[in-house]
Amino acid sequence: MSSKLLANLNEPQLTAVTLPHTSALILAGAGSGKTRVLTTRIAWLLSTGQVSPSGVLAVTFTNKAAKEMLTRLASMVQVNVRAMWMGTFHGLCNRFLRMHWREAGLPQTFTIMDTQDQLSLIKRIFKQNNVDDEKYPPKQLAWFISSAKEEGLRPNAVEAFDDYSRKQVELYQLYEATCQREGVVDFAELLLRSYEVLSKFEALREHYNARFRHILVDEFQDTNTLQYKWLRLLAGPNTAVLAVGDDDQSIYAFRGAKVANMQRFEHDFAPAKIIKLEQNYRSQGHILDAANALIRNNNGRLGKELWTDQGHGEPIRVFQGYSDGDEGSFVIDSVKAAMNEGVPLDEIAILYRSNAQSRVFEHGLFNARIPYRVYGGLRFFERAEVKHAMAYLRLINNPEDDNALLRVVNFPPRGIGAKSIENLQQVAVGTGVTLWQAACAGGAGSRAQVAMAQFIGLVEGMRIATKGLALPEIVRHLLDASTLKAHYLNEKDGQDRVENLEELINAADNFMRETGGVVHVENLDGTMSENDDPVTAFLAHASLEAGDTQAAEGRAALQMMTVHSAKGLEFDYVFITGLEEGLFPHDNSLNDDGGLEEERRLMYVAITRARKRLHFSYAQIRMLHGQTRYNVPSRFLDEVPAELLKWLSAKPKNLLAMEPHAPLSGDYADRNLSAFAASIGSATRNDSGFRIGQQVSHAKFGHGVIVNADGSGKNVQVEVNFRDHGIKRLALEYAKLTAL
């Protein structure tokens, strides 16, 4: 039996599986078979009689992974594995607290709140204590509480530096008291309460120290502070702890994950062995060489080099497009070519750093009639924040739209409760009018009269203010006037939602460029007429693209996802898009300690999703956050050896000869490209080739792109966005720029 278990393991895998009773750290690279090693290790321990199922604790990061491991174990050993403690941190802590509810100070029948339950409780506390939910958004407080608990901090241990944070601590105390009174716990509480019980009751801790002879932890690089402390308490002096992870794939710092826990493990558990699983069974050689070269630029790594015996494979294809539209066309054309080669659609994935990037690809796939599926998320026009914005657009176009009104009448919150809306609906039905008409007549009742009047004024004000504006400017105005952007910026994960809202401006701009705001409508007699109302036309377009275009379950479909969502998945063909400074790596990372290294790990994860063919792409110009950006290619492209790359770039276009998509916004809003061209032209009679969007190099500031210029003759000055130094203003005569 034992020999059968060990068959087909490579040497490091065999070493890891057959380790003696000792703690060890397994550095498991992408595609190196770590799940197989973990499962086989447990099977080996059980089948050789070294431990009983009740003496094993195995921690996975998803319930799905735990179920798969249990299923595989049941087929490998003739032992009842149900006695084994295997599951996520939350699942295991729930099991622990159900057994020790008295020690935990909980009712035996305590209830676990999900995220929505937690928000509802917070909102109830706010209402009972007259807390301003605009100043203290409930989601923000939920994040504050969870973050404190994940660091092991009760309200009395949280440091408060100002009135705002002191109020948050006060609300945390109220929240705690309410949870305790009602016998409910949130997810973070499960772990914190378990940790406190083990800390407080020595006899109980010693019992579990003696019971669990083997503790195995998957995805160890993703553990947070409290999870690590909990594991330390559970592990006794005679417990063998096997930590399996990859410090190069630690990409969840925003969730509290601490990659430093892997270094702490070396110090605290003094593992007898550090085993590196470096043979990759997924990707071809050039892909792994690119991943290795990239990640070497990070400091403090534990160190490993992926390799394969599957050959070098194809070089990595790199596409430089003029615009994000060009990038989208390249990707769609490449997908079509792959389909013609017989590549299954579900073996093709488009990866992006920001959710907002999905819209361009969704639009292209929709037009090409290629079925797709957004993995781990919603299609662009189905996202809640986009639907809210579109509801405001529908209302200023047609205030009689009841569905649109119901969606946003109290969003963002403005004090119009469910009872007031119910009253409004009863009046509308009873009098045979629309909700808007009923609202204008005071049908919501006296309690909500002021708030409803403000809402009506808001919609009417937006309609008046946007009259005569271009469609993109209408969208821009309603995003600001409705306070949707401001609302989401107050949320923990609100930046992604704001990016999607700003992408809606780009969607409107793209629609106008493609159609001129005109759609053709078939009349009853079969003739065609034009609908030249751009708002109505855009709303119809959005409805069509939000329709049933995503592939149904079970149907083959191209996969689209953020890089974060792609972790743990693999595909034959992978497109990594938007490789531009400020996008990937993301702007936010450059301001965070360790942020750039986490972005590089994210890129490493993206690269190692590909089995056979990998594509990189970027755009010289991209509409992002409602602004036209002139991009510097991502530094990650420079960190991949040139011999691994095959450039497929379209011929660069002269940006000075191009008309802008629409009135440019942001910092470059009112600049005249023609004058700009004349200025550059008079200053560069030697035909240097400088233009807006031109990539250049400077001896001091390095790699950058020209984003603006003014002056004439020898007095021309240019603004260059340098990758590492931001925007600098330089005199062209003296700057000694080198065109790239």
3-state secondary structure (DSSP) of residue 67: helix
Please tell me the distance from the alpha carbon of residue 279 to that of residue 152, in angstroms, as a whole number: 38
Going from the C-alpha of 251 to that of each of 341, 355, 526, 630, the distances in angstroms are: 34, 16, 56, 28
**Contacts for 479 with CB less than 8 Å, ≥ 6 apart:** 389, 485, 501, 502, 504, 505
CB atoms within 10 A of CB 71: 12
209, two tokens: 């120290």
CA dist 310 and 284 (Å) reads 6
- One-letter identity of residue 363: H
Catalytic residue among 13, 40, 249, 694: 249
527 given a catalytic annotation: no
How far apart CA 98 and CA 95 sit, in angstroms, is: 5
The residues near 638 (Cβ < 8 Å, ≥ 6 apart) are none
Distances (CA, A) of 376 to 65, 200, 371, 561: 16, 40, 16, 7
DSSP H helical segments within 467-558, as ranges?
471-481, 484-489, 494-515, 534-545
User: What Rg do the C-alpha atoms of the chain give, in angstroms?
Assistant: 29
Q: Give CA–CA dist 478/462, Å, rounded.
A: 7
Active site residue 35: yes
Catalytic residue chosen out of the listed positions 150, 186, 189, 218: 218
Q: How many CA atoms lie within 13 A of 684 on its CB side?
A: 22
- The first and second tokens of residue 674, run together, are 């023609």
Residues in the chain: 740
Residue 643 burial (10 A CB sphere; 0-12, 13-18, 19+): exposed
663 Cβ contact partners less than 8 Å away, ≥ 6 residues apart: 470, 473, 669, 670
Is residue 34 part of the annotated active site? The answer reads: yes
* Residue 323, strand partner residues: 621
Report strand pairing: 558-562 vs 348-352.
parallel
Question: Exactly one of 219, 503, 509, 719 is catalytic; which is it?
Answer: 219
**Residue 104 main-chain phi, psi, to 5 deg:** -80, -10
- Choose the catalytic residue: 35, 178, 434, 536: 35
- What is d(CA 557, CA 362) in angstroms, rounded to the nearest whole number? 13
Q: Quick check: helix, strand or coil at residue 242?
A: strand
From 34, 72, 622, 629, the catalytic residue: 34
Give bridge partners of residue 184 from the DSSP assignment: 111
The yes-or-no answer on residue 247 being catalytic is: no
At residue 257, φ and ψ (nearest 5 deg) are -65, 140
Beta strand 558-562 with 528-531: parallel, antiparallel or unpaired? Answer: unpaired
**Is 102 labeled as catalytic in the residue annotation?**
no
The three-state secondary structure class of 723 is coil
Catalytic residue among 41, 379, 485, 609, which?
609
Annotated active-site residue 218? The verdict is yes
Cα separation, 432 vs 526, whole angstroms: 34
Contacts of residue 290, defined as CB under 8 A and 6 or more positions apart, other chains included, come to: 316, 607, 614, 640, 641, 644
Distances (CA, A) of 413 to 75, 298, 409, 454, 482: 53, 44, 8, 12, 11
Report the candidate in 516, 514, 505, 508 with the shortest Cα–Cα distance to residue 539.
508
Q: CA-CA distance, 574 to 616, in Å (whole number)?
A: 9
- The Cα 36–Cα 275 span in angstroms is 15
Q: Up-side HSE of residue 273: CA atoms within 13 Å toward CB?
A: 18
Both tokens of 711, joined, read 């002056």
Give just the sign of the alpha carbon dihedral 391, 397, 403, 409. Answer: positive
Return the DSSP state at 275: E
What number of CA atoms fall less than 13 Å from residue 723's CA on the CB side?
22
Nearest to 13 by CA among 44, 49, 52: 44
Q: Which positions are catalytic?
A: 34-35, 218-219, 249, 609
